[in-house]
Amino acid sequence: MAGTRPRRLALALALLTATSCLLILEGGVRFDDWLQSRKPRGAPQDLPLLRENPNGTGSYRLRPNLDLETRVGASRIHIKTNSHGMHWRETSLAGTPGRPRVAFLGDSFTFGSWAADSAHSFVGVFESSLPAGRVEALNFGVGGYGLVDEELLLREVALRFDLSYVIVVSYMGNDFRDTWLGLDRETIVNGTARLDMDNLAARVPAAYRTPDDRIPLPCPDQGFRLIASRSAAFRRLAPLLDLENLCVIFRPNMNFVQPAFWSRLPAPDVALKAKDAVLESLDRMKALAAEHRVRLAVVALPTAAQVYAQTPWSENFDTALPQAYLREFCRDQKIPYLDLLPLLRRLAAASNRRMYLKADIHLNDFGHARVGALIAEWFEQTVRER
């Protein structure tokens, strides 16, 4: 009996100490959340990155010789363009003998939004994942591009760079939309692109321009996470411990400009017309590349909702769309094709680590790293000619 009381006191003291520490931690995190909420946040969409196409043939280009910094959330982002208007290191038109050049065409994901810098974009990771000196990557990504913009850039700019390969990276959230709306769908205002609403109205039926708030929703928390998620400390630690609930309930959307529109079943007529426009542009790019003895390849990059969807298909949606259109076309045309959706879904299931930014559609640095490594592996095994 004499030893029982001290042990009980020690246990009570330990519990009291642990509880006090947890309360202090919780209070400290909540106070820090309040401080962070008062700090200015970056607005990358307002960056003066763009200019009208100097050739006057439509679309737009990145401004050359930019050197600026911005913030996305709490992360600092460095953007530097070279004299050719590429978010890339300085390079010459002529390549190095014996070192094939691989040009990447795409939108803001290919550009590198919002990797820390161009070296951390998936194009930079692609190059660094291969043996030193194996290939030279060139990044021609421009935010907001569709395939018709990439086709024009290939014709007017990229093919001047002594290329061996062209990889078109198509983002499944809006590339079909931007291709269908054409080269003049946006106007450049103070270096940023603004969607031309008159062009949208002329190209898309009113039924698919009506606001629709059906977007993918977070899956409900269950088990211990249901209680733990109420804690600010847990929410802060969850990403570090790979304990975030990344699952989403996929819901198709009726609005043409929303990413989930492109997975609808049955596909609306305007979606099928957009699909045809995409495939026609790819067909022209294939012919153009062949004229210059350049090999074309295609990568489909999924949305975060496609990757983390709790149910990948239902009677009114299929997250394998619209990339299935690209797969069938590339198969028939014998174009090397990589669909990243199944690879990223397996990665998400295995690691539960966030690959996309929390409050933005783009990849984070980890997502860029995984996408770059996957494209490099595929390139070595499937695309690169021996």
> Is the pLDDT assigned to residue 43 strictly greater than 60?
no
pLDDT tens by residue, 301-347: 999 999 999 999 999 999 999 999 999 999 999 999 999 999 999 99
H/E segment holding residue 8: helix 4-37
- Between CA 257 and CA 263, with CA 262 as vertex, the angle to 5 degrees is 140
User: How many Cα atoms are found within 13 Å in the side-chain-facing hemisphere of 143?
Assistant: 23
Residue 104 pLDDT greater than 80, yes or no: yes
Cβ–Cβ < 8 Å for 171, 107 = yes
In sequence order, what are the residues at sequence separation of 6 or more whose Cβ sits closer than 8 angstroms to the Cβ of residue 264? 252, 253, 254, 271, 316, 317, 321
Whether 7 shows a pLDDT value over 80: the answer reads no
Q: Is 131 left (phi over 0), alpha (psi -120 to 50) or beta?
A: beta
pLDDT recorded at residue 44: 47
Residue 166 has pLDDT above 90, yes or no: yes
Residue 28 has pLDDT above 70, yes or no: no
Task: Please give the model's pTM, rounded to 2 decimal places.
Answer: 0.89
pLDDT digits (tens, 9 = 90+) for 223-275: 766 666 666 665 566 566 677 889 999 999 999 999 999 999 999 999 999 99
Mean pLDDT over each residue of the chain, to the nearest integer: 90
52 contact partners, CB below 8 Å, separation of at least 6: 60, 61, 188
Helix or strand or coil: residue 183? coil
Q: What whole-number distance in Å separates Cα of residue 79 and Cα of residue 77?
A: 7
Count other C-beta atoms under 10 Å from residue 283's C-beta.
14
Query: Which has the higher per-residue pLDDT, 84 or 23?
Result: 84
Give the residue extent of every domain in the chain.
1-39, 44-216+251-383
Amino acid at position 276, single letter: D
- Amino acid 19: pLDDT: 66
**Residue 220, pLDDT above cutoff 70:** yes
The C-alpha atoms of residue 46 and residue 192 are separated, in whole angstroms, by 6
189, 47 contact by CB (below 8 A)? no
Tokens 């977070």 locate to: 218
Q: What is the pLDDT of residue 6?
A: 74
Domain 44-216+251-383 has CATH 3.40.50.1110: yes
Q: Tell me the helices (H) and strands (E) count for the chain, helix number first.
A: 13, 15
- The b/e string for 323-341 (b: 16+ C-beta within 10 A; e otherwise) is bbbbeebbeeeebbbbbbb
